[in-house]
Amino acid sequence: MEKLLQMDDVDIPLYRPDVKYKQVIASVYHYTSNGRAILNDSLITRFDNNNRFTYIGLAMPLIGQTSVSASTFSYTNNTVVVENGGREPKEIYELDAKGRILTKSLVQFGISTKILDRHVRYTPNGRISYLHRARDGGIVEKKVYQLTAKGLVKRCEEYGSDTTLASKTIDYTYNGKGQLVSMVMKLKGIKHTGGIPYKFTYNDKGLIASLKFGFDPGAAVYTYTYVYDAKGEWTRMECQFDGEKRFYVNRNYVR
């Protein structure tokens, strides 16, 4: 299964790199007030022989028809072109040797405009920094990660254009097996006593069985539970809020 908590969206692949997928379909069902489950939308993802995205489509049922929006991906060396069903703008990404995004450009009316420049920096004391700059040179986002001696993320600090004061911090706690058991998120300008806690449990195969979080002590809690197939891929995820079922996701794989 993919990592539920990613160090950086463009660093860790959505699906396991050791498994060759042809297609993955995730269907989302929401519960109505009378307890019925109704299909809300389906996400279809297709891959090439190198396990890279070739197609991502979102299908939403409407009255008497289905609305589909899709993106296709093409690759040349370290460049990725994303076309959104013939609609502009077209997106172009430059990647480093590990497949991480370095730059992002938009092409509209035949004109290419670079909108994002991404810098990565590693330091010997276990810190990793990501700096995103806009086309005018201004800083869009900065992330700094502190790692444990075993290379696990211990703390994440996120900054906006003001790089002196973190807008969000996340602290991570692991058990003796190296499994993430809790994380606490603190947001600038939002007062939560001790931050927003997330708690994780695992099944006997070491896969995440549940995730719980609530915004304040004593407040209603969101609970996500996961069911897996024999290969360790989650096939169903259900969300409850304060014990009431909200939605579930079924996921099917074609290898």
Q: Are 81 and 73 in contact (CB under 8 A)?
A: yes
pLDDT tens per residue, range 154-196: 998 888 878 788 889 999 999 999 999 999 999 887 766 678 8
For residue 1, pLDDT beyond 70: no
Q: Domain total for the chain? A: 1
pLDDT for residue 190: 73
Residue 183 maps to a domain? no
Domain residue limits at 131: 77-171
Cβ neighbors of 171 (< 8 A, separation 6 or more) are 154, 155, 183, 184, 195
Q: Are 235 and 228 in contact (CB under 8 A)?
A: yes
Percentage with pLDDT > 70 across the chain: 81
Residue 167 maps to a domain? yes
pLDDT tens per residue, range 55-90: 999 998 877 788 888 999 999 998 999 998 877 788
Residue 155 maps to a domain? yes
Residue 34 maps to a domain? no
pLDDT for residue 7: 41
**102 pLDDT tier (thresholds 50, 70, 90):** confident
Mean pLDDT of the chain: 82
- pTM for this model (two decimals): 0.80
Residue 48 maps to a domain? no
Residue 207 maps to a domain? no
DSSP of 28-85: EEEE-TTS-EEEEEEEEEEE-TTS-EEEEEEEEEETTEEEEEEEEEEEETTEEEEEET
Residue 187 maps to a domain? no
CATH of the domain at 134: 2.40.128
For residue 218, pLDDT beyond 90: no
Angle at 168 between CA 238 and CA 97, to 5 degrees: 80
CA-CA distance, 12 to 99, in Å (whole number)? 9
pLDDT tens per residue, range 4-18: 333 444 443 344 556
pLDDT for residue 152: 86
Bigger pLDDT: 154 vs 140: 154
Residue 7 maps to a domain? no
**Strand extents, DSSP E, 98-188:** 101-108, 111-123, 127-133, 139-147, 153-159, 168-174, 180-187
DSSP state for residue 218 in the 8-state scheme: T
Q: Characterise 135 by phi-psi region: left (phi > 0), alpha (psi -120 to 50), beta (else).
A: alpha
User: Counting every residue, how long is the chain?
Assistant: 255
